[in-house]
Structure 1
């Protein structure tokens, strides 16, 4: 079997890469997998779903590795990009985590140049690692990977963006990303400085402008990431659903196909994951049996 990282690298080199959709757990991954072959395990989303906390450095590497493993079990044919923040501080930990993720079939990791206490890329108050300290970590991760793609991410601003992009471009990193870009013009300037493939991160309410895929391709970004649409949609939908229930004296809304989900639709979605690694039972289960 060809490693997903090798498959993704070939796609990157060919210039045709489907957008990465940010997910926050196995259920959101199941839904997102119907829209793209590429999934992104977002640190923002994971911190929210696993801990109920903001993305400010609480994630333990072992929690993220276990979470990624669960996604790989149910969606083995999808290519996954996993956010490993700063590699969890230490160089040896960064290498250990990237090795584990590669062995389970993760296609690409994102390694950032923030110092602790780290922040979401679209928060204020970010502090960067000294460039040489980050470069040591990046080079060590690159040296011990085999098929795994590596995305080198900087959270720099101003002229420091270009200094770091120049150094990243001298490595074997597969993709480069500048997070929190405030203008599409900055992306165009970065494109002039490097031949490396560029990824652009879109997050609702973030620092970066809302742009189309066509606009991004014109500006030189070959890869696109939607890091949090599933999480934000879940927050909105759950709030609206509960408001609707209690506005009608606790009556559940009618499950109408295409408008709201009931037990049959949810069970059918989850059954697809079961079918990928387990033979179907000889006797067809009823909807109630499938859901219990």
Structure 2
């Protein structure tokens, strides 16, 4: 099976597959090394870690395409890629899908926010009309060359128009050809539980640590019927916490030892970036 076929099978199995987010190639390699079955290339993570900015529409197509290509080269598991609003109108969406498909995406996520978008768990969101959003989903479906490339349609309408309107939008996105549905930032446990009963297509549920959606265990979400359980920025938040703790120790104690438990070992760092394989190549070609 190709990575796209594997991802489709994971989504359709509806067993709550946990998909962590990666913000660069090394974080992706850590995720794969720990045995996760797919990776989410996070727009918020790229914006935070690459640009040092909040998730408010600062990332462009070039940045997410570059990160997707680098991550695709580093790992072999399926990649779900956050394409925000598609970076414009339906024609821009068409171009975005062509670009990200070439970069190695196995699923491309598009959302219905007004540009510039913002994190789904921030205040002040607005959504475009249902008609415009549907046209963008249709453009995305038409743009792909590989029928196994998944198009994921996200709606942020729950925050602005209410839960019922969000469900209705998601259903219309499915009818427009979306393969995977993502109703973002629902705030009530009952709404989370209702979604798999209301929508027939496979769904992703976003677990944002510190966000507005109640946190469910992935096994609970599997029992409810969700295909994908997204932890888009757990690795990022963990990395920041680790950096803060290590650097605080360095500032205060004037040193950090490998035995401190604060840092991974030098050898483990080299293993993760594939130094033994590069050493073997160097020997082979010298």
TM-score > 0.5, shorter chain as reference: yes
Question: 1:2-81 residue pairs with structure 2 within 5 A?
Answer: 2-16=1-15, 18-35=17-34, 36-75=36-75, 77-81=76-80
Q: Which residue of 2 aligns with 1:260?
A: 263
Matched, 1:237 2:242: yes
Say whether 1:152 aligns with 2:153: yes
Match of 1:220 in 2: 225
Bigger proportion of residues as helix = 2
Could you say which residue in structure 2 is the equivalent of 1:251? 255
Deviations 1:115-173 (CA, angstroms, capped at 9, x unpaired)? 12211011111000101001001011112222211111001111321221221231321
Contact 1:45 1:231 in 2 (8 A): yes
* 1:103 CA displacement: 2.5
Give the root-mean-square deviation of aligned CA atoms.
2.0
Output the CA distance in 2 between the equivalents of 1:58 and 1:226.
21
Q: Is the 8 A contact 1:3 1:105 kept in 2?
A: no
Alignment of 1:43-122 (within 5 A): 43-75=43-75, 77-122=76-121
TM-score, normalisation: structure 2:
0.90
Cα distance, 1:110 vs. partner?
0.7
Distance 1:191 1:17, change over 3 A: closer
In structure 2, stretches of 5+ residues that fail to align are none
Alpha-carbon shift at residue 8 of structure 1 (Å): 1.4
- For 1:194 and 1:164, locate their aligned partners in 2 and report how far apart those are by CA, in whole Å: 11
Query: Take 1:40 and 1:195, find their aligned partners in 2: how far apart are those partners?
Result: 23
CA distance 1:18–1:166, change in 2 (3 Å): closer
Contact 2:246–2:263 (8 Å) recurs in 1:
no
Secondary structure of the 2:259 match is coil
Q: CA deviation at 1:184?
A: 2.5
SS across alignment from 1:176 = strand
Q: Give the conservation status (yes or no) of the 8 Å contact 1:184–1:219.
A: no
C-alpha distance in 2 between matches for 1:280 and 1:37 = 28
Task: Tell which has more relative contact order, 1 or 2 (C-alpha 8 A, sep 6+).
Answer: 2
Residue deviations 1:44-64 (CA, integer Å, cap 9, x gap): 101011111001001110111
The residue aligned with 1:194 is 199
Question: Does residue 1:136 correspond to 2:135, yes or no?
Answer: yes
1:77-131 per-residue CA deviation (whole Å, 9 max, x = no partner) reads: 1111000000001222211121222233311011001012211011111000101
Aligned residue number for residue 281 of structure 2: 280
Contact 2:14 2:226 in 1 (8 A): no
Query: Which residue of 133, 149, 166 corresponds with 1:161?
Result: 166
